Amino acid sequence: MTRIKTEVESANAAYADNFEKGDLALPPARGFLILTCMDARLDPAKYAGLAEGDAHVVRNAGGRATDDAIRSMVISHKLLGTREWFVIHHTDCGMLYFDDDTMGDLLAGSLETAELTAEGFRNTSEGSGSPEGRYIKWHTIREQETAVVEDVMRIRAHPLVNPSVPVYGYVYDVKTGRLTEVKAATTLGRPA
């Protein structure tokens, strides 16, 4: 057993000992959803003032409007009643530091963890890779606000997204904790 596994299990035991939220309703109480990045520096509960049961939070690398993210968003609205959606990217996102070709090359060279250097990501070992990474769309980011606009546009244009659901766009600043609205994204995300 690893130290981390032991820590997680101990933390869960302490949490479960005092657990008093087993009666929360299935639909989110505040009726909204956040699509955001998996980055460990982001705590949507804190930056959006959430408690358990308040909202749905969909996370992936970059907070991108991928097919799977949109799948979750459609379920959130259709079956669980969310009425507003927030797309929240963030500053200093790791998805800014590589592109699809770079990721494909890194994975072809090694499946071990890469490191970020001043020149970008690089493998720390070679020889155990696979070319399969070259066939995946990694949804990297060139410019943060542009990516927020693109994601809101993709959500708004999706044929399974109810046009009455407003979609807002923001960038979270990892240095200050502030959300800054990307007005062009929010304008495009207005309900029909």
Global pTM value: 0.94
Paired tokens of 114: 């890469």
**What pLDDT is attached to residue 192?**
86
Residue 12 has pLDDT above 80, yes or no: yes
Residue 102 has pLDDT above 90, yes or no: yes
Domain limits of the chain? Answer: 29-96+141-192, 99-137
pLDDT by residue (tens digit) across 168-186? 999 999 999 999 999 999 9
Residue 1 has pLDDT above 90, yes or no: no
Task: Provide the phi-psi class of 69: left if phi over 0, else alpha when psi is between -120 and 50, else beta.
Answer: alpha
Paired tokens of 26: 């299935």
pLDDT by residue (tens digit) across 128-166? 899 999 999 999 999 999 999 999 999 999 999 999 999
The domain 29-96+141-192 having CATH identifier 3.40.1050.10: the answer here is yes
| DSSP 8-state code for residue 28 | -
High-pLDDT (> 70) share of the chain, %: 100
**What pLDDT is attached to residue 166?**
98
Average pLDDT, the chain: 96
Give the C-alpha distances (Å, rounded to integers) separating 78 from 70, 73, 160, 167. 12, 9, 10, 15
pLDDT by residue (tens digit) across 79-98? 999 999 999 999 999 999 99
Average pLDDT over residues 41-66: 98
